[in-house]
A and B are shown apart, each in its own frame.
Chain A
Amino acid sequence: MSHASDSSSWGEVEALFHAALELPADERTAFVEQSCSTSPDIRDQVLLLLRHDAQASGFTRIVGDAACHLAVPPARDGSVVGAYRLLTRIGEGGMGVVYSAERADNLYVKRVAIKLVNTALVSDELRQRFMSERQILAALEHANIARLLDGGSTDDGSPYLVMEYVQGLPLDEYCDRRALGVRERLELFVKICGAVHYAHQQLVIHCDLKMSNILVADDGEPRLVDFGVSRLLSNAGGEEAASEGSRPRRLTLRYASPEQVRGDVPRTATDGYVLGVILYELLTGMWPHDVAADDQAAVMQAILEQIPRLPSRVATPVRARQLRGDLDSILMKSLQKETTDRYESVARFSEDVTDYLALRPVMARAGNWHYRLRKLVRRNRVASMATTVLLLSALAFTATLAERNRQVAAQRDVAAFERDKAQAVTGFLADMFAQATPDVAQGRDITVRAVLDSAGESLTDSLDNSFADNPLVAATIRRTIADVYLSLGLLDTAEPHIEFALATLRREGQTETEDYVRALAAKDILLGLRFEHEQAKAVSEESFAISSRVLGDNHPLTIAALNSLGVKHHMTGNLTLAMTIFEEIYRRQVARLGERHPLTIRALRSVGIIHHWLGHYTRAEQHYRDCVALARDVMGERHSLTLGCLSNLGSVLETTGRYVEAEPIIRQHLAQARDVLGDDHPETLRSMHNLADVYRGLGRIAEAGDLFQKTLERRREALGDAHVETLQTQMKLARLFRQIGDHDRALPLMKDTLTRQRDTLGETHPTTLIAAQEMADLLLARDEHEAAGALYLSILSARESALDYEHPDSIATLAGLAEVRLVQGNLAGYEQLMRRAITLADSHPRVSVPDFAESRQAFLRFSDAVSASMPDMRASAETH
């Protein structure tokens, strides 16, 4: 075969080539044959070129591939680095190359791996940092972490690291080759978590976890390699790049967290997320998101925005059965976009996996923060890692406490004071954390509680009070500690710290400050959790007033205080005021954030909820529908806010007796809530409750009974016996028993409900009144007329004292009382009450009250009979 390599024929070949291309493809060969009948050489050349014309060149790929190997330093086989002789090159990456090596002095035989950093990349600063920070890595001693043994600089100045030599297979390959089952994979994973968590406690974040960095040896022990190395490197490189204005991505995207994709500082939660991806892949064999791996932009977008596919949906059918439920929930929780929605620590993650393996209930399925808090308190597991993360991040920015503390005292400049105060606070927290480290080394779980307790003691001990000169610093620290106690549900422990902070700030004349507002907010939460709503309301009012003055009407803290005030009014049954407040919040959020902001939608939802409570069902429905549409649009179908609004909508349809309309909406919500939030999430349970209510409304009594019973059990487990929503289900179940005539089963349920609600909410709270109504109906059904009548009356008077004459719930109350009067023989009373009930019902045409249609029919028949046969009685009733 000849080539157009002869310059004499070059022009001719080119001309023929282009001429041929002008023709249809099938005529080209004939054209060239004809044109070159005398010079076969040129003919062959042109035909060859034509054959290669339409093909993909691959030049770009060739160049790209070559570029990827650009950063590899020249070979050094056989040369001596420090005390080691390099043997063979066993791996390479952009930052350098890895050799296997052994001691050069033959003192003892030890295989090591040496990583050499590419000289071209080394700046003085990088080298310095590299050397100082490797000390930290050298301190990592864990059976499942490959040790950093040594490090130094070669003669030409390249830094190197000497690592323990690990022989094994990458995690996924190991699992697949041995065909490990789910349980064995999880057991391996727990070991890996242990190593990562250990490093976190030593303040080292891996940042580059992936299958190939987790090697499993023949004995089945996993080893993590490259711990923190990438962090060192990327820190150094990142700084260099940052100063140049553009930070390149140095990520293995497949194992990158949302915050890494955004370019934020990686945290311990980052490793937690990546462990989630790894576990997901180990269990399903798939990446969590359904995008083409080579479409970088799509991959990044998926990491940032897409909810992962439910593991049980992507796994093989056999696997799927094992993943459904607990493991689904565990993985979905670990893969949350927001770090705060994930496990608080890798230890918690691992603990949940362990719980699963031990067939204990797992935490991920709770989902809801309140639920978790309760669970946590109940199990008395105060060693939550929630705050370890906080402490870790505080540590990262810490300055030495004592010095800063002295500086704080000397500072006059307010801005500098604030800054130093912050440093002193984080410094203090860091010290607390450091104190706990010996415990950690002994293998005990670090207890935040212990750390906080000792901190609290050292502060309250006046002899050893290093903050005597800085009461404001002390106040901030005490308030921070209180916040942590509150988040652990330790109300009594939190209280003195809050009081100390408040008292100090008052004494120092610092009540018009953000600190004071925050301290008040802590007190507000404390009182709220104790159901001391009246007191809490006063605190909300104070913090709202101060925040408005100091921070302005539209500051998030001001709006939070106002919201808290609205909630208190709602909780204490002052619905009209609550309405005014939520409407005001909505106005401010619209002005501040626009109509489509999630916080604005939440405010709108609150307004809808108050309408719902006030019995303005049409308006509530409209608000809910707006919220659903907005939330769906802004946040997507499966966002918790969308689901919440959908649930509200279903509930208002149910309340107004539009069961046929309500059923599909509630079913839709239930399916999505189960999917997204899990079976035991409060939101899911709310939907189950509503659906049971719909069944009851539709007359499907058996189904309703089963579902109420199931919901009640789950709510008791998930929320506790006294939770307002547990009681709600308990009451509805009691009502169902009453309706099927099983009064004996209904009575204890109702007694319990009413007692608890009176305790927690008060006699006149709307929720208590609903329960009282049900109790009265039950008493009536049991022919306890006196008691029933008294109860109906007290319900009516409570509503009337709240100036709430027109509440649609009063229809049933009036009808009930009327019936009592009827059986008592008080026909005038009966007629009067029924007429009031009917008038009220007519003013709420969209509201359907259970059983009221029958009462109404009966009354009309009675009324007809009276007017026909007993005119004087009717007259007497009218003049009454």
Chain B
Amino acid sequence: MSDKHPVTALLQAWRVGEESALEQLTPLVYEELRKRAGYLFSGESAGHTLQPTALVNELYGRLVDVEVDWQDRAHFYALCSRIMRHILVDHAKAGRATKRGGNMLIVSLDETGIVENASEAQHRQTETEDLISLDQALQQLATLDKRKAELVEMQVFGGLSFREMGVVTGLSESTLDRDLRFARAWLRSRLATPSV
């Protein structure tokens, strides 16, 4: 077996049931994902065309040997989706605490062309809140129905297809479809009317 990256071996160990492999795997992937995310998203300006799912895809190509079978790939994606959610939420929470200078002076020294002024700051604030609300709703969902919360996490943060989710969870496509439809409707209703 190739020793291209320890991730490959750990991934295979985890899939055949070695839970300790997951413990080793998570920090490795976390660090990579965070670094790459910071780098990759920095280059994107308008349009937000680069989604986390694309990043997961890219990371997979770099960390895992090409010859691993696609079930490992599905597991890797599932893992990444969880980590990605943590990264984004941690960051959003840290950002919420930040005091911002909301003045109208425009100094653009940035690569992305995001010129911040009062309304932009407002906008960013909203984006941060959106993600934190989504995360909270997902947490509530998990207390009611862990499986559904995990499915949404895989789909939204990791971009897993039904087939990949099927590999990870052992569920049929029709079950996945039903579960996700219900879960998404529930989350939307949750986000539309925040609990008091």
Contact = CB atoms under 8 A, between A and B. Distances in A.
A64 B49 CA distance: 8
Interface in B141-179: 143-145, 152, 156-157, 178
Interface string A87-101: 111111111101010
A63 B156 contact: yes
Given A91-B107, A100-B101, A246-B58, A65 B112 contact: no
Nearest to A229: B109
Interface in B76-103: 87-88, 91-92, 94-95, 97-101, 103
The winner among B43, B49, B94 for most chain A CB atoms within 10 A is B43
Given A17-B185, A52-B188, A65-B127, A93 B107 contact: no
Interface in A1-55: 1, 3-5, 7, 10, 14, 17-18, 21, 48-53, 55
Given A52-B189, A68-B44, A113-B107, A170 B115 contact: yes
B116 interface: yes
A-side interface size class: 35 or more
Given A65-B48, A75-B98, A92-B110, A248 B116 contact: no
Contacts of B48: 61, 64-65, 67-68
Nearest to A73: B38
Contact of A296 (B42, B47, B91, B195): B47
A125 to B, nearest CB: 14
Contact of B111 (A14, A246, A250): A250
B130 A65 contact: yes
B176 to A, nearest CB: 13
A208 interface: yes
Given A3-B195, A91-B109, A212-B108, A50 B185 contact: yes
B1 interface: no
B190 A3 contact: yes
Contacts of B68: none
B105 A252 contact: no
Contacts of A72: 91, 95
Contact of B157 (A50, A63, A92): A63
Given A69-B124, A87-B101, A248-B43, A64 B107 contact: no
Given A67-B51, A71-B41, A241-B39, A90 B105 contact: yes
A89 to B, nearest CB: 5
A474 B190 CA distance: 78
A59 B110 contact: no
Contact of A70 (B43, B87, B187): B87
A74 B94 contact: yes
Contacts of B195: 3, 5
Contact of B99 (A70, A77, A233): A77
A430 interface: no
B61 interface: yes
A65 to B, nearest CB: 4
A237 B51 contact: no
A296 B51 CA distance: 13
Contacts of B192: 52
B119 interface: no
B116 A92 contact: yes
Contacts of A17: 182, 185
A421 B98 CA distance: 57
Contact of A91 (B52, B110, B184, B190): B110
Interface stretch (A159-167, A627-635, A691-699, A814-822): A159-167
Contact of B51 (A3, A63, A229, A294): A63
Contacts of B124: 69
A878 interface: no
B113 A210 contact: yes
A210 B178 CA distance: 47
A121 interface: yes
A95 B111 contact: yes
A67 B109 contact: no
Nearest to B62: A244
B182 A94 contact: no
A298 to B, nearest CB: 12
The winner among A69, A163, A169 for most chain B CB atoms within 10 A is A69
Contact of B101 (A90, A115, A226): A90
Given A17-B185, A55-B188, A71 B101 contact: no
A251 interface: yes
B189 A66 contact: no
A60 interface: yes
A51 B91 CA distance: 32
Contact of B112 (A52, A53, A88, A252): A252
B44 A3 contact: no
A392 to B, nearest CB: 24
A237 B189 CA distance: 42
Nearest to A173: B106
A334 interface: no
B2 interface: no
A289 interface: no
A249 B50 CA distance: 10
B39 A248 contact: yes
A75 B121 CA distance: 14
A812 interface: no
A64 B51 contact: yes
A3 B157 CA distance: 25
B131 interface: yes
Contacts of B95: 69, 72
The winner among A18, A70, A89, A100 for most chain B CB atoms within 10 A is A70
B47 A294 contact: yes
A294 B47 CA distance: 6
Contacts of B94: 74
A604 interface: no
The winner among A55, A68, A170, A241 for most chain B CB atoms within 10 A is A68
The winner among B46, B61, B107, B116 for most chain A CB atoms within 10 A is B107
Contacts of A213: 108, 113
A599 B124 CA distance: 53
The winner among B112, B144, B195 for most chain A CB atoms within 10 A is B112
A810 interface: no
The winner among A18, A87, A90 for most chain B CB atoms within 10 A is A90
Nearest to A98: B109
Contacts of B122: none
A245 interface: yes
A731 interface: no
Nearest to B97: A75
Interface in A394-445: none
Contacts of B113: 93, 210, 212-213, 252
Interface of B: 34-35, 37-52, 55, 58, 61-62, 87-88, 91-92, 94-95, 97-101, 103, 105-116, 124, 127-128, 130-131, 134, 140, 143-145, 152, 156-157, 178, 181-182, 184-190, 192-193, 195
Interface of A: 1, 3-5, 7, 10, 14, 17-18, 21, 48-53, 55, 57-72, 74-75, 77, 87-96, 98, 100, 113, 115, 118, 120-121, 161, 163, 165-170, 208, 210, 212-213, 215, 225-226, 229-230, 233, 237, 241, 244-246, 248-252, 254, 293-294, 296
21 contacts: A48-B189, A52-B185, A52-B192, A57-B188, A59-B156, A63-B157, A66-B91, A66-B92, A69-B124, A72-B91, A88-B101, A88-B103, A89-B100, A89-B116, A93-B112, A93-B113, A94-B44, A120-B35, A226-B108, A248-B50, A248-B58
Lowest 8 CB-CB distances: which A-B pairs, in order? Answer: A94-B42, A88-B101, A93-B110, A250-B43, A71-B38, A52-B188, A66-B131, A93-B112
Given A14-B182, A62-B127, A100-B101, 11 more contacts: A51-B189, A64-B50, A70-B41, A90-B105, A94-B39, A94-B42, A98-B109, A115-B110, A161-B109, A166-B107, A248-B39
